[in-house]
Structure 1
Amino acid sequence: MLKIKKILNNNAVIVSDEGEEKIAIGPGVAFKKARNDIVNPHKVEKLFVMSENDKFQQLLTRIPIEHFTISEEIISHAEKRLETTFNEHIHIVLTDHISFAIEREQEGISLRNKLLNEIKILYRNEYEIGLWALHLIEDKLGVKMPKDEAAFIALHIHTLKVKGGDLRKTVKQTTIVRDMIQSISRRLDLSIEEDDLSYQRLLTHLRFVMDRVNHYDHHTIDEDMLLMIQTKFSSAYACASDVANEMEDLYGIVLPESELGYITLHIQRLQDQHHQKGGHLQ
């Protein structure tokens, strides 16, 4: 039995569930209700324990209810799409982010996401959820937001999955990957298009390199194969080595020789495709 202890808004209440304080969320869950009333369980879409109840309540008192409702729709859609659950913190972090983003856009302030292209590829499912969220916001509020915002939402969704990661770490890793790609492009004088398959494969590989770099879980490659790669694809290997040295200087990241061998193969594929096309990669 869910007994109301406090009404947060028409769609969210704090309830007592067998002596445990929980937050119940659902359309109209608090409609014509008062403290100590019983909540109809059929109206409850989400019931969870929130360790940060005070922060959640403060947030709900300072944002429009529509922003909260939209955020919860996005969270529900993301859970179904990704077949996962989120850290409870998402109800605060994502709601606060979306509300602030909507307010900025209404004031004519748009933030550019410098990692947009990388996020679109590395976190494709989350990015598509972000695009879905933009359509929802436009449909509900008439506020049209740039695709950059879909990428910001994607990062929050990725890092707030129960088995997600740390937002700062994810942004840092994605930034490093972007810098490595730009360095490769600059050194080889290649203009790389984001929809190019070889580029996407390199980008994805570098992302997993960043994941492995602190866990001693590197690809292994036998010495004869590595020597063959170094000899046969000498310019691509030189590029990979130069980029690795640059990343070590900038970020203190040390890549083992075996990883350089795999990165070399990706770079060589980019070069080959570039020469086949006779110019820009498309």
Structure 2
Amino acid sequence: MLSVKKVLNNNVLVVEHPDYEEVVLIGNGLGFGKKPGDTVAGEQAEKFFVLREEKDQEQYKQLLDYVDENFIGLMNDIIEIVEDRFSIRLHEHIHITLTDHLFYAIKRVKQGLDIKNPFLSETELAYPKEFLVASELIEYLNKQLNLEIPPGEIGFVALHIHSALTRRSLQEVNRHTQLIAELVQVIEQSLSIKMDREDINYLGLVRHLHLAIERINKEQFMENQEPLKNVLQAEYPVCYNLSWKLMKIMQHTLKKTIPEAEAVYLTLHLQRLSKQ
């Protein structure tokens, strides 16, 4: 038997748990007539998850004011799918952020409003595993709700999944995706080209940019490539100078030092693209 700490609604309780401190229990009629201090059998719950922070509990309570219980149940099924695919317990905040996001996304779809995602390709390249699972979730939602959610939504869901997996804020994950898109735009303008989003050179560039951002954030610097740097600077001055322009943008956005060796690898990618 578990002690009730807070009643969120007739179907959702916050209880004290011997292993997880405080957990959220979900079950039909589970909270009816309950008050703090009462006991409840844990096996009566259909679902449970941990919300350790008081702030998260309050946000989830606010969520329950406008999201119906059937949708809450559906979201718990979806989060279980993600945890199963990655064999990991997700950061509990996803119960708030993803539920809120998809609730309003589905509302817009039902109103006939389109969902635009200018960073869809970049998101798929940066987070392929998350993107694949997000595709599965959108397909699952379409079947359950008899809807046709636009493909752009897959990218947004993938970012939520990545945020929960890495315990990085959604704002930070979004900022990195937008940074890659900005760098691609600068490259296209500087080289007067329009890159084919399916081309192997474009895919290689975006993957490199994504990995570079990860390395820079973790301060995992590559070995200096001084001899090759001098050759590339002399042979491909346009691409070499552009690589430094991109590095300055990255430095300004990430607020981190960019190793000089990065200019070598960027120049090689840019030279391949410029041949187009």
TM-score normalised over the length of structure 2: 0.83
Give the unaligned 5+ runs of structure 1: 275-282
2:89 corresponds to which of 85, 88, 92: 85
Per-residue CA distance 1:178-210 (angstroms, 9 max, x = gap) = 111122123223332222222122112112322
Distance in 2, Cα, partners of 1:57 & 1:3:
18
Question: Is the 8 Å Cα contact of residues 7 and 34 (structure 1) preserved in structure 2?
Answer: no
1:259 partnered with 2:259: no
1:168 partnered with 2:171: yes
1:152 corresponds to which of 149, 156, 176: 156
Map of 1:181 onto structure 2: 184
Distance in 2, Cα, partners of 1:21 & 1:244:
45
Matches within 5 A, 1:182-221: 182-221=185-224
Change in Cα spacing, 1:187 to 1:61, as seen in structure 2 (3 Å) is: same
Per-residue CA distance 1:181-240 (angstroms, 9 max, x = gap) = 122123223332222222122112112322344554332223112112223334432332
Aligned length: 270
Shift of 1:42: 7.8
Shift of 1:119: 0.5
Distance in 2, Cα, partners of 1:166 & 1:137:
25
Per-residue CA distance 1:10-37 (angstroms, 9 max, x = gap) = 7643334359542124xx5647976356
Map of 2:43 onto structure 1: 41
Distance in 2, Cα, partners of 1:67 & 1:120:
27
Question: Is the 8 Å Cα contact of residues 23 and 50 (structure 1) preserved in structure 2?
Answer: no
Question: Is the 8 Å Cα contact of residues 109 and 149 (structure 2) preserved in structure 1?
Answer: yes
Question: Secondary structure, in 3 states, of the residue corresponding to 1:60?
Answer: helix
Per-residue CA distance 1:71-100 (angstroms, 9 max, x = gap) = 212211111222222222111111111111
Distance in 2, Cα, partners of 1:31 & 1:44:
9
1:124 partnered with 2:128: yes
- Amino acid paired to 2:90: F
Shift of 1:121: 0.8
Change in Cα spacing, 1:39 to 1:193, as seen in structure 2 (3 Å) is: farther
Map of 2:241 onto structure 1: 238
Map of 2:60 onto structure 1: 56
- Amino acid paired to 1:39: A
Question: Is the 8 Å Cα contact of residues 4 and 40 (structure 2) preserved in structure 1?
Answer: yes
Question: Is the 8 Å Cα contact of residues 117 and 194 (structure 1) preserved in structure 2?
Answer: yes
The sequence identity of aligned pairs, in percent, is 27
Give the unaligned 5+ runs of structure 2: none
Distance in 1, Cα, partners of 2:11 & 2:131:
27
Change in Cα spacing, 1:72 to 1:47, as seen in structure 2 (3 Å) is: closer
Shift of 1:6: 6.0
Map of 1:2 onto structure 2: 2
Question: Is the 8 Å Cα contact of residues 63 and 99 (structure 1) preserved in structure 2?
Answer: yes
- Amino acid paired to 2:97: V
Question: Is the 8 Å Cα contact of residues 8 and 57 (structure 1) preserved in structure 2?
Answer: yes
Question: Is the 8 Å Cα contact of residues 70 and 136 (structure 1) preserved in structure 2?
Answer: no
Shift of 1:260: 0.9
Question: Secondary structure, in 3 states, of the residue corresponding to 1:23?
Answer: strand
Structure 1, 43-52 or 187-196: larger mean CA deviation: 43-52
Distance in 1, Cα, partners of 2:148 & 2:15:
36
Map of 1:277 onto structure 2: none
Question: Is the 8 Å Cα contact of residues 7 and 31 (structure 2) preserved in structure 1?
Answer: no
Distance in 1, Cα, partners of 2:257 & 2:32:
60
Distance in 2, Cα, partners of 1:21 & 1:180:
44
Distance in 1, Cα, partners of 2:142 & 2:180:
32
- Amino acid paired to 1:15: V
Shift of 1:102: 1.1
